[in-house]
Structure 1
Amino acid sequence: MTLFAVLLPLKDKDLSQTYRPDHLQFLEEQRKKGNVAANGKFTDGSGGLVIYRMPDKDSVEELVKKDPFVKQGAREYHIHEWEMVSEEWA
């Protein structure tokens, strides 16, 4: 499987707050299926990042469009194939 970094920049703060529980539930479901390797928010409030483990970019985009944040217009998305260099943290 290939790793993809999906940036989710904030588009609408109110919608983000409203759909945050649904977004987190969506990510948990995807984690259980093995599709999400990591996720988190940016501490400056500008959005978040999800690392997906999927076969190709088209599969990631299809899934990202089902994320409540994206589906409800709370966030934009940008998909980048990502190559992890090390699993060690500084």
Structure 2
Amino acid sequence: MKYFAVFLPMLDEEKSKQYRPDHLAYLEEKGSEGKIFAKGPFVDGAGGLVIYKGENLKEVEEIVKQDPYIVYGARGSEIHEWDMAVIEER
């Protein structure tokens, strides 16, 4: 399983507010399918970040294209495969 960081930059704040419930429901669905590692908005309002889990980039691209934020033009998307390294606390 690979990890993919998906930056969702704000494109339209009004659309973002309008489609937020749909976006959150979509993320909940994907989370229950085991496709999400972490998610959350940026506190400065610039957008948000979702860390997806998938077999490859194509799979994650398909998931992201179905996010209501993307479908309705509220947010853009930028996908990067993420080579996660866990730092152990001492």
TM-score by length of 2: 0.95
Partner of 2:34: 34
TM-score by length of 1: 0.95
Q: Deviations over 1:3-34 (max 9, x none)?
A: 00000000000000000000000000000000
1:16 alignment partner, SS class: helix
Partner of 2:55: 55
Q: Which runs of 4+ in 1 moved over 3 A?
A: none
For these two proteins, the number of residue pairs brought into alignment is 89
Letter in 1 for 2:26: F
Unaligned runs of 5+ in 2: none
Displacement of 1:56 = 0.4
Q: Deviations over 1:15-55 (max 9, x none)?
A: 00000000000000000000011100000000000000000
1:50 alignment partner, SS class: strand
1:4 correspondence with 2:14: no
Q: Closer, same or farther in 2 for the Cα pair 1:87/1:63, shift >3 Å?
A: farther
Distance 2:71 2:87 in 1: 32
What pairs with 1:18-29 in structure 2 (closer than 5 Å)?
A: 18-29=18-29
Q: Closer, same or farther in 2 for the Cα pair 1:22/1:87, shift >3 Å?
A: farther
Letter in 2 for 1:72: Y
Identity of aligned residues (%): 51
Partner of 1:69: 69
